[in-house]
Structure 1
Amino acid sequence: MRRSKTILLSLSAAVFITGCSIKPEPLLPKDIKSSVKKDLQLLSNIVKPITKAITLEEAIDRAVNNNIRNRVQKMESALAYKQIDMVYYDMLPSLAANAGYSVRDNYAASASTSFTNGQPDQISGTPSYSVSQDKERTTTDVSFNWNILDFGLSYVRAKQQSDKYLMAKENEKKVTQNIIQEVRRTYYQTVSADALLKRIVPMKDEVKDALVQSRKVKLQRVSSPMEALSYQRELLEVLRSLQSLERNLMNAKLELSELMGLKPGTKFELSEKVRKNYDLPEIKMALEDMEKVALENRPEVLESRYKERISSKETTTAILKMLPGINLNAGINYNDSDYLLNNDWASYGASVSWNLINIFKGNTYNKIAKTQIELAKEQKLAVSMAVLSQVHLSIVNFKQAKKEYELSKEYLDVAEEIFNLTEVGNDLNMNSRLVFIKEKLNYILSTLRHSSSYANVQNSYGRIFASLGTYSDMKKEEVKAKKVEKKLVKKIMPAVEKKEMKSPTFKTYGIATSNLNVRAEASLDSEVKYVLEKNKKVEILKTISIKNDVWSKIEDGYVSSTFLEIQTTEVK
């Protein structure tokens, strides 16, 4: 006996000491590095390589298939589907197999005595002991147990879980639509950013060069210090605007790369380019039809319908909880005891249990279930009203975006004309050069507003289909509404990249304010070919700057721009 107790205490102490010896083990640096290497490799291999310029359709396809957020949502839907199987298993009866082995260090011997007048007789001095079990025993059994009430409840829960899975699928659809909408927005933002970033860097260099020249003029005291400092302040303001614009544009491509599931730093080009004229999309569906389509297809509305169906099943659950539970059981047993006549046997039976308190709770359960149904109906109506409002709002925003686009186009045309005039009439003194730089910046900003307004049109157009919940139709409509240039138009901002520019839409003329010498070259030392009479009008082909002199190229030679009155006429 003492030996058995000693062994038991020793085992208990060993288990206790082992449990206390467990300490937190942080990840080793080499394990972290190995994990990071694998993660980077997975991120690199998660998408197919880029072999050509990416269209909007391809960007959407990459985002839907490769975006990490969308993949997580799909896995959550798959998990919800697997949980349906788990609930189905709850409807099945329990089938348990048990086995046991027990040992005593002595026999469980016992004696008995007579029971008289409510009291046991005293055991004699030499009692007779009996044994009914071995010191070592082995038992096994397989038991079957099924509660019919639990089966009914599990069946209802399985139906509800099926609806929850369908809700998860609708939520997955909603996430997909949101991602597609974000891709559409960032795609056109990136198109604008790619085009304008290529113009900003040269202009920054030009502004910096003007600052250097201004500082030299200040040191040479050619002009007053106040005039030079004011000029530098204006230039610095332009430079600050350019840097702020550059910072905002640089984020667009990174955001699009993340949405498409590309590894940060992956280089890619977009097939769409900035244009001056676009064909705007049109919506031909009637508003009443759009409302019906939205209520039939929007994930939020369908999700609220599934919630209503789940709540309606709570009434069935409340009724089942009031019923008694009928438990059926059966089993096959085995015991190797030598003292048993039958070492194996079968057993079966049935029992009924009824929690009578549930009868009184039943009315409350039923009221709660009906309240949940009414709440679900009201929630569905609220969601439906919100969806209808979004449809109407998307139409209003689309129409407003088109108006803003038309206004931005007119503004760009005016800014382009002003820029052309300032470039032709620039004589490179301090004030006119500052005006030239400002107008160039205004031209870039007006181009940004124009391309951004078109991106807003496309974004508003996409939101209409997103409000309808039919983005697959939107992609088909996108192909049909793809922009095709009706005529050849000049690319946006050609003059920003060129020091000298011949305007394709204007002709520039100069009227001599006095008699001018027409020279063979743009130099005062060049040969005089003839004299241009006062008030004579000639076409200026281009303007060139040499040191502090500005020369105009005409058909027969060069004349000084100082004595020309510049006029610009639109070519019809």
Structure 2
Amino acid sequence: MPFHFDPRRLACSGLAAGLLAGCAGTPAPLAEDVADRVARQQAAMAELRSALPEQAMDAETAVAYAAGHNLEVRLATLDRALAAGAIDLASIQMLPSLSVQAGYLKRDQVEAGSGDPLGRHTRSAELSWGALEFGSAWLRTREAGERGLIYARREREQLGRIAIETRLAWLRVANAERRTAQMAEADRLLGHGEALLARLEAAGLRDPLVHAQYRDSLLALRGQLRAVGDQASAARGELAGLLTSDRRQPPRVAADAVQQDTLLASVTATLAIPEDTLETHALRHRADLRELDVQARILRREAQLTWLNALPVLRLFYGRQYDTDLRLDPPYWQQQGYSLAFNLLGLASAALQNRQLSIQRGQTDLHQLALGFAAVEQVRLGRERLALALADWRDAEARRASSARIAEIRLARSPFYEDDELEQARAQVTALQAGVAADRAWEALLERYLQLLQASGVDVWPDALPAFEADRPLEATAEALRRHWQALPQRVAELAREVG
């Protein structure tokens, strides 16, 4: 049937295409998408804020629980899984390719007298393998494996950050709960003082100025006691947030399996290590510096891949084709051979890409140098801060002992005057504040110590747990953390020999 040009048909087709294009450019309302997302988020939040374990948690159990429910850790785990999938994908691309094709073609007319049918069936199967494609896939496999190292290190770094934050938050809550009895005693003494002031004011036996000064002292002490309670509430809320639990139901803490003496011995051993040894260990083992090492290796792979793609393409093939439009009996044939192709612009393109990669390698070297300089300065500053924090903690502990002794003597004496009861309450609150200051000094010391370990390239997350696994039992992770923290003094002692 001959073809006839129809302007009306062409105009209708153009109008329909224009209408479809206009509709495609109009965004659909987001109401349904937003509603679906909000429903999924609310369900996920309810699941994420699941009930905490019934038993009280020590520091390591809290860290293990926080690592298992932290969303950033889950994202890092998914990045590592994507890198593993990229390795599998690149490995498959190294295999020969098998292509199968089938089709049907119908014509309205054929050459007169040719005897060719109007309908035509075609089928083909071909197995091919390219040497250049194999080399490119091999390099991509190596590159994907190196990217997996980067994601694994990022995951460990994230786990270490969660471990430090959770352990410090747990320590604040544990210190607050340990002060519960002392706060109750201080509150009782303040209550006695307030009752005594009410009796004195009712009797009118003292100068009103004395009453006002007495009340001012009681209000100041009550405010100090309330501040200590507010700090405890804030610590519980911080720990609940790290554990992704309801802040209205704070977790219960148990005794820490890692004793303070163990951590103090590790702090002392760290300060005994020469500064240049810590700096060398940091340059060798810092996660950010090692990540740049892997990035530099990836850039070298990219350069190799660039020059490889500029080479002539050799392709081997073997296949069978079937076509009913041929006068063969049977109507199929086999074919094999090879092809060699060379892109004349490929060499120039490879040279330009290699120049870009050289600039990127230079940027990586400068970035690594800047990070190395910052790491050295961070180690020096961290070591100085740790030494100052240790001195502050020792002074705070001495003042805690002195204030506790004063409060003990005050409470042992029977009050004869109303000022004696006020002094008892003041001594108790002062001892409480000295204890809070000592606890804060220890928290600061532990924080400076962990920061110095991270700056020096010492893994806070144990080597026994190279990556977090969601199906690992909570107690198994907590036990590995306990062993790791208890062995910190030995690990720090081995640091000098490792660098040497």
Scaled by the length of structure 2, the TM-score of the pair is 0.73
Deviation at 1:352, TM superposition (A): 3.9
Q: Report matched runs for 1:213-252 at 5 Å.
A: 214=197, 218=201, 221-223=204-206, 227-252=210-235
> Of the candidates 240, 262, 269, which is equivalent to residue 283 of structure 1?
269
Distance 1:351 1:31 in 2: 52
Q: Report matched runs for 1:70-469 at 5 Å.
A: 70-102=73-105, 107-110=108-111, 129-130=112-113, 133-200=116-183, 203-204=186-187, 207=190, 210-211=193-194, 214=197, 218=201, 221-223=204-206, 227-259=210-242, 265=249, 267-272=251-256, 280-281=264-265, 282-283=268-269, 286-287=273-274, 288-337=276-325, 343-423=331-411, 424=413, 426-429=415-418, 431-466=419-454, 467-469=456-458
Structure 1 pair 31/55, CA: closer, same or farther in 2 (3 Å)? closer
- For residue 26 of structure 1, what is the aligned residue in structure 2? 32
Q: Which secondary structure does the structure 2 equivalent of 1:280 belong to? A: helix
Q: Which secondary structure does the structure 2 equivalent of 1:414 belong to? A: helix
Distance 2:196 2:350 in 1: 91
Distance 2:103 2:296 in 1: 50
Instruction: Select between 251-260 and 301-310 the one with higher mean Cα deviation.
Output: 251-260
Greater Rg over alpha carbons, structure: 1
Distance 1:451 1:293 in 2: 31
Deviation at 1:171, TM superposition (A): 1.4
Distance 2:356 2:235 in 1: 51
Distance 1:469 1:200 in 2: 39
The amino acid across from 1:153 in the alignment is S
- For residue 545 of structure 1, what is the aligned residue in structure 2? none
Instruction: Select between 224-233 and 302-311 the one with higher mean Cα deviation.
Output: 224-233
Structure 1 pair 480/25, CA: closer, same or farther in 2 (3 Å)? closer
Deviation at 1:130, TM superposition (A): 5.0
Deviation at 1:164, TM superposition (A): 0.8
Post-superposition CA distance 1:187-226 (Å, at most 9, x none):
3222211122444356446546655664675566555555
Instruction: Select between 303-312 and 248-257 the one with higher mean Cα deviation.
Output: 248-257
The amino acid across from 1:140 in the alignment is R
Q: Which secondary structure does the structure 2 equivalent of 1:439 belong to? A: helix
In the alignment, is the contact (CA less than 8 A) between 2:236 and 2:251 conserved in 1?
no
Instruction: Select between 163-172 and 85-94 the one with higher mean Cα deviation.
Output: 85-94
Q: Higher RCO, 1 or 2 (CA under 8 Å, sep at least 6)?
A: 2
Deviation at 1:165, TM superposition (A): 0.7
Distance 1:42 1:146 in 2: 49
In the alignment, is the contact (CA less than 8 A) between 1:311 and 1:376 conserved in 2?
no
Post-superposition CA distance 1:250-272 (Å, at most 9, x none):
23234335545667636433214
Distance 2:232 2:331 in 1: 85
Distance 2:137 2:484 in 1: 46
Which structure dedicates a bigger proportion of its chain to strand? Answer: 1
In the alignment, is the contact (CA less than 8 A) between 2:65 and 2:243 conserved in 1?
yes
In the alignment, is the contact (CA less than 8 A) between 2:189 and 2:421 conserved in 1?
no
Which structure dedicates a bigger proportion of its chain to helix? Answer: 2
Q: Which secondary structure does the structure 1 equivalent of 2:109 belong to? A: coil
Distance 1:360 1:29 in 2: 53
Report how many residues are paired. Answer: 451
In the alignment, is the contact (CA less than 8 A) between 2:236 and 2:250 conserved in 1?
no
Q: Which secondary structure does the structure 1 equivalent of 2:141 belong to? A: helix
In the alignment, is the contact (CA less than 8 A) between 1:63 and 1:260 conserved in 2?
yes
Distance 2:136 2:115 in 1: 45
Q: Which secondary structure does the structure 2 equivalent of 1:26 belong to? A: helix
Distance 1:262 1:29 in 2: 25
In the alignment, is the contact (CA less than 8 A) between 1:184 and 1:459 conserved in 2?
no
RMSD of equivalent CA atoms: 4.4
Deviation at 1:469, TM superposition (A): 2.0
Distance 2:221 2:297 in 1: 62
> Of the candidates 482, 486, 494, which is equivalent to residue 479 of structure 1?
486
The amino acid across from 2:109 in the alignment is A
Q: Which secondary structure does the structure 2 equivalent of 1:141 belong to? A: strand
Q: Which secondary structure does the structure 1 equivalent of 2:334 belong to? A: strand
In the alignment, is the contact (CA less than 8 A) between 1:143 and 1:331 conserved in 2?
yes
Identical positions, percent: 18
Distance 2:321 2:263 in 1: 83
Post-superposition CA distance 1:398-440 (Å, at most 9, x none):
22222111111222233234434544374452x5544443332
Distance 2:141 2:488 in 1: 46
Distance 1:65 1:290 in 2: 31
In the alignment, is the contact (CA less than 8 A) between 1:132 and 1:339 conserved in 2?
no
The amino acid across from 2:486 in the alignment is V
Distance 2:340 2:384 in 1: 65
Deviation at 1:242, TM superposition (A): 2.7
In the alignment, is the contact (CA less than 8 A) between 1:197 and 1:246 conserved in 2?
no
Q: Which secondary structure does the structure 2 equivalent of 1:152 belong to? A: helix
In the alignment, is the contact (CA less than 8 A) between 1:197 and 1:249 conserved in 2?
no
Deviation at 1:449, TM superposition (A): 0.8
Deviation at 1:464, TM superposition (A): 3.9
The amino acid across from 1:446 in the alignment is A
Distance 1:427 1:132 in 2: 131
Structure 1 pair 42/61, CA: closer, same or farther in 2 (3 Å)? closer
